A and B are shown apart, each in its own frame.
Chain A
């Protein structure tokens, strides 16, 4: 019987396998950052252990770095300590670090692919749930906790229960691909299968709707696999994948011979079977806007805020959840989404802060000014993205429209640095989580695509970006 892409990568990385037990899986790439690693290095020191493969480990600082002037000292003492701790740990254990002043610094899931560290058919882990992003390259990429970070540092392996393969087919073609984006596809998926719909699985995204996407769009899809609860997301590599990685800073010297093998091997066999399946038709999907406090609480921009019973389809727990969410979000059922006014706009995060995201958003913004009642910022995903965008003059377009143009980092996606919402503020955000307090205690987050966020910044409320000229 044939094998799925996931099964092929899994089998080629099993070090120890015992029936009815987790398997020991080899890890090819370990990415680390300042927030989830300090306790792991402490554990190594306490037990006199070394990092087994510093040459497979890369570190950067992204979660709590300030995004304003980098020449200034970090004012938040606890953040400063965490950053210094990472510097010391990398020095002590011989790990390559892209620090706050490095041209390679950025969100770990943006720089991995940009530097050619992410490779098809490899296993990648990071102490961050959005590691699923790298699955866009046909890598098995998993978010892990700090104990597993320590385990990988010490042994270059993790123990893992084998997840089940889940096929999500994307059928059809979007009529207006500038207005209806990869973000809208993935939000539509989560809206349909729920935030626990992928639990215990590795999702493989397939079909013409996926093949049509650029690598950056595919990363947006795989990035949010975790929001459906999946262990990882995967897309089979094709010529777009191989082209993207060719000639990057850390692309292997024997890349072309690897590509030859990957081309043959890294795909799901025709007679392979999946344990779970879901199909999404994208011909007519609309731009999506989340209205609640998890990414599954999402609707079309043309719809209204749902009534809790209508959302819950008879599940009393979901109904209670929706009531609480609407209360937190201060929204009344029946309110048209386009009538919701916003205070803040955040274009950034590992979901949507790559060059293409900024190019698309700039088309909405060009020659316009943001609404006077809105404060808006663009936080490029990496210093490289920032530089490329500046070479194209995108920074000027955003600044002329009164956006703030920032340095790279996770920023207001999770508000660990000074970029946060004030209590009660409402934000159109290109990030991945609309959880209570995620962007700042009491803050209210609506997840949207970069073009939808840009359009909301201009109008001061949500607007169906399909009505705008984006060519």
Chain B
């Protein structure tokens, strides 16, 4: 996985709560067998009408946000289905950071496996950032969000931070503990299925 680089970009304010992964990437696009190319299907049913023309009232269709790397949304972002395709689509579309008051657990965990930084912030701060029209910068090492007017600190689990900063391969990390896994298996009481 690529390591997370600090970014500076305007924010895309998606003013909705409970954005579920069915909206982020609708089911008709889950049939691909690779991880790439999902960006064009991001928020498909909100971006396009039945004739697949862009809907003018959806924020991602405003060319002003074309280069935005930061998506800001409401409470419980990424709820519902465990589909990691949602994270692949956000990343492939060009987002590196998602800011929301809270995230659903499986989505949150999927982000870190793909170099996408989810930042959960107090609702009032999220509202302030949603109105920010100038570019903001995000520094993961310092855990800081800088706007032209203020600097906001964000919390992140130290282990997750390390994974993003170093772009670590999760499985290679785990293999360091192979002895412990083998040892656990020797003492396990749950028999194999077959």
Which residues of A pack against B, CB within 8 Å? 15-16, 20-22, 24, 26, 28-29, 35-36, 38-39, 42, 47, 49, 52-53, 55-58, 63-64, 76, 78-79, 81-82, 85, 96, 117, 119, 121-122, 127-129, 143-148, 150-151, 154-157, 159, 161, 163, 195-196, 199-200, 226-227, 229, 231, 250, 252-254, 258, 261, 294, 317-318, 320-321, 324, 414-416, 423, 433, 435-438, 441-442
Contact = CB atoms under 8 A, between A and B. Distances in A.
B148 interface: no
Interface stretch (B6-14, B60-68, B134-142, B186-194): B186-194
Given A229-B105, A258-B189, A321 B170 contact: no
Contact of A148 (B20, B22, B28, B109): B109
Given A79-B31, A155-B171, A416-B27, A119 B190 contact: yes
B22 A21 contact: no
B26 A195 contact: no
24 contacts: A21-B157, A21-B158, A24-B180, A26-B181, A28-B190, A35-B30, A35-B83, A36-B82, A38-B33, A39-B35, A42-B33, A129-B106, A144-B82, A144-B106, A145-B113, A147-B110, A147-B113, A156-B185, A157-B181, A199-B103, A254-B191, A414-B27, A433-B22, A438-B27
Nearest to A150: B171
A253 B194 CA distance: 10
B105 A200 contact: yes
Interface string B70-89: 00001110011111110100
B104 interface: yes
Contacts of B113: 145, 147-148
Contacts of B74: 317
B194 A55 contact: yes
A226 B171 CA distance: 26
Interface in B74-124: 74-76, 79-85, 87, 102-106, 109-110, 113-114
Given A15-B181, A29-B193, A144-B82, A441 B174 contact: no
B23 A416 contact: no
B147 interface: no
Contacts of A200: 105
A85 B33 contact: yes
Nearest to A85: B33
Contacts of A47: 171
Nearest to A255: B191
Contacts, number: 197
Contact of B174 (A78, A155, A435): A155
B16 interface: yes
Sort A-B residue pairs by CB-CB distance and give the 5 closest, nearest first: A147-B113, A145-B84, A38-B33, A145-B110, A55-B192
B170 A151 contact: yes
A79 B31 CA distance: 6
A81 B105 contact: no
Given A55-B193, A258-B189, A321-B18, A442 B171 contact: no
Interface in B137-184: 157-159, 170-171, 174-175, 177-178, 180-181, 184
Which of B34, B171, B188, B192: most chain A CB closer than 10 A? B171
Contact of B84 (A81, A82, A147, A414): A147
Interface string B17-51: 11010110011101111110000000001000010
A147 B30 CA distance: 15
A221 to B, nearest CB: 18
A250 B194 CA distance: 7
A252 B114 contact: no
Contact of B81 (A21, A129, A155): A129
Nearest to A14: B184
Contact of A436 (B45, B106, B114): B45
Contacts of B188: 26, 28
Nearest to A55: B192
B189 A261 contact: yes
A199 B184 CA distance: 29
A195 B18 contact: yes
Contact of A58 (B18, B180, B193): B193
A15 B177 CA distance: 9
